[in-house]
Structures are given as C-alpha cells and as structure tokens.
A and B are shown apart, each in its own frame.
Chain A
C-alpha cells in the first residue's frame, strides 16, 4: 500500500495547492506508516520536482509523454490510474481544482474507488472505517462521508490544509504510462490571465456588491486588492448585471471560496452569498446598512459608504506595508 498524490503543474511550476496536497498526503501516509508517492505530468525541472520533498514526498514520478502535452480528463486520469496501480496505492489524493474536478470522477470509475470531493480535513481512520469531512450545501454545513471501497480518492479543497514541512530526499523516476486510449479532446488554446491571483486559491479576496454603484467604480476595489495582493470577486447581482464577468461571482451558484481574509464591500449578504464565503477564516464587511445580514457573519465591520471608505483603507494598507 501507499498514498499517491497527483500534483498539477502550471507551465513547469507548482502552485501553493501542490504543496497543500503533498502535506496532506504525507500526514495520511504517516498515520498508515507507508510511503508518499507524488505523481506529476509536465516539464518541471528536477530542481522544481525536488521541492515536493520539502513537504514529504518519498518518491516522485514524472510523466512527459507527448500524449500528455495538453490536458484531457481521459489521458491524465489513465496516467494517474496506471501510476496508482504500479505503486499499489490505495489512497489517491488530488486537489479539488478545476482540473481535479474533471480527473477525480474519471479516476473513480477507472479504479472503482469511492470519492470524497472537496475534503477540508484529514480522514478519520478508526475501526476499519475511512471517513472524510467536506463542505455540503455550498458551504452551509459539513458532511462526513464514509468511503466503503478498498481504494479511496480524496480531492482536497484549496486553502483547507496548511502546508507542513517534513523534509525527505525523494528519488525522481520517469514514469511512462501506456495510455491505451484514443484521444477525443484537443486543446485549441490556453488563455492565462497571469496578472491575477486565481480566485479559488487566493488567501485574500476583496469582493464587491451593488453597493459599489456601478462598474466604473471597480478601480477603487481593484486598488485595494492590489495593495493587499488579493484576488477580486463579486456578488451574483453584480455579475448578473454584467458589471463583472461570471467567473468572479462567489456564492452558492458561483465559486465557493475559503480564503484567510474575505472583504465584502457593499454586499448585503443574502443567504446564497454567505453559503459561498462563510468558510472564510476572517470576514470584514463594509456596508452602509447596519442591519445587513453580512454583519452577522463578519468578524469586523464598518458601517458606511464603500466608495468613501475603500480609498482610506487602501491608504492604510499601503502605510502598513510601508
């Protein structure tokens, strides 16, 4: 037995979620007294690959096949399944990222393995049971899910598990999967907005609602986000009105996020919005209505006009950061 962790590469590099998933896999492997095998696809250099050892990978498998040059659920899941079988892994960990959400179900069928999608804690492994906690009802509650198959897959929510160092000196091996599949998807184009922090894994998110009065005022919010190194988001009414694109909408039917700090600016906090952000560690609300429901979940609040308060807050952040 072993714990296999699939690590995503973005143009040959690892992101924070990679180290979270390795740290998480290592902790499970420690409890089970077994090895942590990291499997990754792409062109990362050995120096980059070795960084996975800082967080406890005992062995690193790397695949560079031509068929894996661009992403496909079918090919990537096949490669992960082959790596899991070769290593005799019965617990497979992935990040619950956009790509992870495509790979996890495909892999589940290939390995006949039950899935906990969007885990937020380490599994409880007592009395022969395997139970993992995840968010349900879009962040309103937790569900503890028991996996009853011999092989188990967990996709870990970004920002849910701390990066922990447990240095190893991993071996690096090239893994050459067979990939007996006919590719039916072709990536035509990859468009990256490199200047922005991706929303699901951002540690700080500044989010705007109708209280900002119009899209022309978004630069005030973006200034604050830039000062904080934060990602920007918006409420559903804002994306519905076309002020901001849909991919920035956080809430029950948008992206569910759990950053360390969530600043809700001019957002009243309807239950659908709160569902998507209530797992944020600290919430700051700025709203002119003292009765707004956002203040019931906020840790800190300022009652007032967002358009007046934001520039002052940006100044205060800049002064603090010196």
Chain B
C-alpha cells in the first residue's frame, strides 16, 4: 500500500499571535513552529497501516526551507521519505494544486491530511485534492480502517456520526480519534537525518484568495467576581445584564 500524508508547518499552540506590516503579515519572529497536530494524527495512522512491511508512507509539504525541522520530525515519527514543494503556501487552492500535480501520476492508494491546519482553520485541502485528482474524499473522520480495496471511515456529523465505505484510491481528512499521535524514538530521530527528502520546484498554480488584514477580537471587560454563595445573583446577571438566558 502506497500512502501520501500532507503535512503543514504551523505555529505552536501556545503562540501569542501578532502581526507586522500594518497588520497584513503574521509575525513569525520568535515563533516556534510545529507539525500541525491533525497532520500528526494522519501520519501516525499512515504508519500504523503500513507497519510490518505492508506499504510505504511519503510525506509531502508545500513550503519554504524553514519548514525542514517539521519535515524531519515527520520522518523521525516514521515516514519513509519526504517531498517538499519549494514555494510559499499562498492559499488552500494553491497548496492543493501543488500536491495534486505531484501526486497525479504516482498511484497513491490513500492520501491523508489533517482535518484542518491550526493556523488558518480552513479544512479545504483534503476536499480540493479529491476533486483535483478525481478521487473520492471524506472530511473530518474520527476512525479509519482498511476494508479490502476500500476504507471504512467514521465521519462526524451534527449530533451524530456516519459510517462510510470509500473505494480506494481516496483522500481523507483526519481528526482526533483516528490514531494516537506517535512519538519519535531515538532510532527514528537518528534515521530521519538520512531518509530521502526530495525538493521540487512549484508548478504554475492559481491563488484564489489572500489575507488583506488581521485584527484582534475586542477585549473583554474586567470579570465580575461573585462568591460561592451567589449562584442566584449569577443567574440574575446572566438574565438582566448579559441577556443570555
């Protein structure tokens, strides 16, 4: 089985988000970047599915050279090889197009992504990839198992879930529950340095959107503190002041 896992390089979850250039650029100064947590789940699942010589896992990343520590982390976790498309990841359509152009003639059986990246929270790449490659796609899955020439996945829906069978080859966006995130061991970390990392130049792809400005949410006023005995007062304030009940 030949698997492709799409990974993105995102600011660590504890990052205080600030901007430069008149609030048009994310300020990367001093920011620690990590492997997107949902992509880590997708990668861990891919490794689980191919363990014991049952297949190979390639990771692909669209981004500049500064992302290489994240790619090496993916190799340390257990991917066999990696591809970096050497370009700035302008928007979801641009990234999906780059990955589709790479994957089109490679006959991957299964392409996994995280449900969304934790920086732009678009959740678009999996679905776009499916459509660009004429493959079925499922988004926000919580479980995945191989079922012959298909996969059986559990997809989240409002107030419930759906069990879906998807013929391979296919694209799936993975969420929590699909796999436990694997932690690289020492052997993985050592071997990651020598695993193949191919760098490919970008193809000419369109960008459909761009961010024109970032803004911060309006600050909240100071907290109104009540004592443990004032639950009735809290209810009254929620009714008369906040008007939410």
Residues of A in contact with B (beta carbons under 8 Å apart): 10, 15, 71-74, 77, 97-99, 101-106, 108-110, 112-118, 131, 133-138, 140-149, 184-194, 196-198, 200-201, 204, 228, 239, 246-247, 249, 252-254, 256, 260-261, 271-272, 275, 278-279, 281-285, 295-305, 308-309, 312-313, 315-317, 319-320
Contact = CB atoms under 8 A, between A and B. Distances in A.
B160 A313 contact: no
Nearest to A142: B215
B220 A185 contact: no
16 contacts: A105-B123, A105-B125, A105-B128, A131-B212, A135-B121, A136-B211, A136-B214, A137-B11, A140-B17, A141-B17, A141-B216, A190-B162, A253-B38, A261-B238, A296-B223, A319-B235
B13 A252 contact: yes
A296 B170 CA distance: 45
Nearest to A110: B131
Given A145-B209, A198-B159, A105 B131 contact: yes
Contact of B217 (A105, A278, A299, A315): A278
Interface in B220-245: 220-221, 223-232, 234-239, 242, 244-245
A209 to B, nearest CB: 17
Contacts, number: 287
Contacts of B215: 133, 141-142, 144
Interface of B: 11, 13-17, 19, 37-38, 91-93, 96, 115-116, 118-128, 130-132, 135-140, 142, 152, 155-167, 170, 175-177, 207-217, 220-221, 223-232, 234-239, 242, 244-245
- Chain A's interface: helix, strand, loop or mixed, by majority? mixed
Given A115-B208, A118-B122, A145-B211, A317 B235 contact: yes
Contacts of A186: 164-165
